[in-house]
Amino acid sequence: MRLLIPLLLAVCALAAERPVPPSGVPVPDKDRADLEAGLKRLSAAVDKIKDHVYAPDVMIFCEAVRYALTYNEFFKVEEIARAKDLLRQGQERADALLSGKAPWTRATGLVVRGYRSRIDDSIQPYGLVVPPTWSAEAQRRWRLDAWFHGRNETLSEVNFLTERQTRPGEFTPTDTIVLHLYGRYCNANKFAGEVDLFEALADVTKHYAIDDNRVAVRGFSMGGAAAWHIAAHYAGLWAAAAPGAGFSETADFLKVFQSETVKPAWFEQKLWRMYDATEYALNFFNLPLVAYSGEIDRQKQAADIMAKYLEEEGMRMTHIIGPQTPHRYHPDSKVEIDRRMDVILAKGRDPYPRTVKFTTYTLAYNRMKWVAVDSLAEHWEKAIVKADVSDPRTVVVDTQNVTAFTLDFGPGGCPLHPDGKPTVKIDGQSVAAPGLESDRSWRVHFRKSGSQWKGAESPREQALAKRHHLQGPIDDAFLRRFIFVLPTGQPLQKGVAVQRIAEEQARAIREWRRQFRGDAIVKKDSEITDADIASSNLILWGDNFSNKMIARIADRIPVVWTERSIKFGGKSFDPSTHYPAFLYPNPLNQERYVVINSGFTYREYDYLNNARQIPKLPDWAMIDATTAADGRWPGRIADAGFFNERWQLKEQ
């Protein structure tokens, strides 16, 4: 065993060095010249139609080839020919738009389209399977199945667009539009990959008449993991979920799938509660679920452990198992899955059921059907809301770890009687509430003061507090529009810490493109405008001497940075060897974050298995730069923690 341990460590070290995505093959000079010439022509055409509503449908071809050429992402020789064909298609679409036509917008079959992401202004692709029965003139709305793809480290934009025009995928239900998500490459639709689902779905909804109450989420392998995550965290949005294989949490999956014993830091273990679907099992009370596994597939573990957690919540899980089947769908199982899904989708989602049960650990995921959680007693601990309107004049709400919530029924949605004022019983307390609007909508807010619940005018407090879209951890800043802000001045203290900040800054920009497939917006500190402050999370690099934006807010963020010390959380650190990495509500605009000295926090070792792709740092950390950065950490974590619900350090 003693001999085996060094061998295993050596294997892990070698694995950690494997780049994701891998390096591509050489491109012959003639092919490179042809591609560059075609890209130049297409780029010129794009400039003429860049403001057209359908411009992203052209730009996906341009960006796919640009990325592959610029970043050496032709992984096989045959992909060069695919890129040439994509340039041809892009030119045809550009020419069509210039002549006032867009034939692909009325096409059935396999169609690729794109949108501009609000996160980083990048153009992101998606694929559609449009049924032959569809037409733009049809007076009806269409079922949509969102499909999450499996792990593929060579799934460049070139390969995705090619595949989405040649393969319909595992399931093509009748009279159904299937949305194939790129998900920003290879992250199991977490982080920016999660946002991709909602941005792509919004774009599809602009162009096709989608029935909001007949949308399903499905996927297999890594896509099955994505389906588990998206279904558990957003159960109120979908009509049904059908995950296949994949993983549904981190620790047990890595132990079973890779024989890896995970030894997380205390804050990492808390942060597992962000994405572990097992922790959100109660939410499947609100969503029909049809799980699939091959009988001899190791990834059957995902469904097995979910079944255990569902059973603890009093629910039996439908689990279709392919007999003696490894990591794939059994043909008979596909028929059975489709049969069940078709029945469920024909009925559709009920947006306003009489009973809602909801659990969360973070205000990042704060809504279920007509219940929204507005504040927690403590983040990363289990919060529960159970709400019932079986009595037409009374709503009964039971809570745990919740200090404010909203009940929100849209027009025509509230089942309460429209005359008089209903009573809301919260944790046994009766609280008066205003009556319904005449359109049968009803939106009311409640807040807890001490042990007493009262009605509230707004879901938000006047004081600074954690709330939806402003709750951390550091990685949350990269789920909305952000700008990397580079310093132009001289740092306060020279030393290894300054060098490390510069290295991490360069790494953050590089790895955003590699892992999330967009060119990050980068500006100098002197270039930041009021519009940037209003619209974007600002990722600030440097210190309060080198970066003008840090200097501007230095007296309103929880760090005191001098030539002799960095004071943070009641402790002092040497600024020549340490630096802080944290996020905080921007004092210049408390609708957005500032992040100091950090990009997204998972690193190269985590690229190798999607179950490891979780936030690695909490709200704040102090980095000891005398320890070299590696594939797991930016340096030694000298200290780290979470702000409280008032964005204060515990010492405050």
Instruction: Provide the residue ranges of all domains of the chain, joining segments of one domain with +.
Output: 103-347, 367-456, 474-641
- Backbone phi, then psi, for 610, in 5-degree steps? -65, -25
| Integer Cα distance of 614 and 104 in angstroms | 38
| Integer Cα distance of 106 and 176 in angstroms | 15
Least confident of 166-170, 253-257, 294-298, 593-597: 253-257
Quick: pLDDT tens for 54-76: 999 999 999 999 999 999 999 99
pLDDT band at 15 (very low <50, low <70, confident <90, very high): very low
pLDDT band at 622 (very low <50, low <70, confident <90, very high): very high
Contact of 376 with 403, CB cutoff 8 Å: yes
Residue appearing with tokens 């992101």: 124
| Integer Cα distance of 376 and 372 in angstroms | 11
Average the pLDDT over 258-274 and give the result: 92
Q: Is the pLDDT of residue 595 over 60?
A: yes
In whole numbers, what is the pLDDT of the chain averaged over residues?
Answer: 95
Q: What is the pLDDT of residue 17?
A: 63
Q: What is the CATH number assigned to the segment(s) 103-347?
A: 3.40.50.1820
Q: Is the pLDDT of residue 4 over 60?
A: no
Q: What is the pLDDT of residue 129?
A: 98
pTM above 0.75, yes or no: yes
Q: What is the pLDDT of residue 262?
A: 82
Q: How far are the Cα atoms of 75, 97, 161, 626 from residue 56, in angstroms, in the given order?
A: 25, 12, 13, 46
Q: Which tokens go with 182?
A: 């790129």
Other beta carbons within 10 angstroms of residue 165's beta carbon come to 16
Average the pLDDT over 203-216 and give the result: 98
- Backbone phi, then psi, for 345, in 5-degree steps? -70, -30
pLDDT band at 260 (very low <50, low <70, confident <90, very high): confident
Packing angle between helix 222-233 and helix 192-207, nearest 10 degrees?
80
pLDDT band at 263 (very low <50, low <70, confident <90, very high): confident
What stretches of 322-402 show up as alpha helix (H) in DSSP? 331-347
Average the pLDDT over 9-26 and give the result: 70
Can you point out the beta strands (E) in 207-331? 210-220, 240-244, 290-294, 318-322
Q: What is the pLDDT of residue 11?
A: 39
Q: Is the pLDDT of residue 14 over 50?
A: no
Q: What is the pLDDT of residue 492?
A: 84
Q: Roughly how many angstroms between the first and final C-alpha of the chain, as a whole number? A: 49
Question: Half-sphere exposure (CA, 13 Å, Cβ side) for 219?
Answer: 30
Q: Is the pLDDT of residue 22 over 90?
A: yes
Q: What is the pLDDT of residue 652?
A: 40
Contact of 196 with 181, CB cutoff 8 Å: yes
Q: What is the pLDDT of residue 258?
A: 84
pLDDT band at 7 (very low <50, low <70, confident <90, very high): very low
Q: How far are the Cα atoms of 266, 471, 505 from residue 578, in angstroms, in the given order?
A: 21, 25, 15
Q: Is the pLDDT of residue 635 over 70?
A: yes
Q: Is the dihedral of CA 183, 184, 188, 194 positive or negative?
A: negative
Quick: pLDDT tens for 138-178: 999 999 999 999 999 999 999 999 999 999 999 999 999 99
Q: Which tokens go with 515?
A: 């892992």
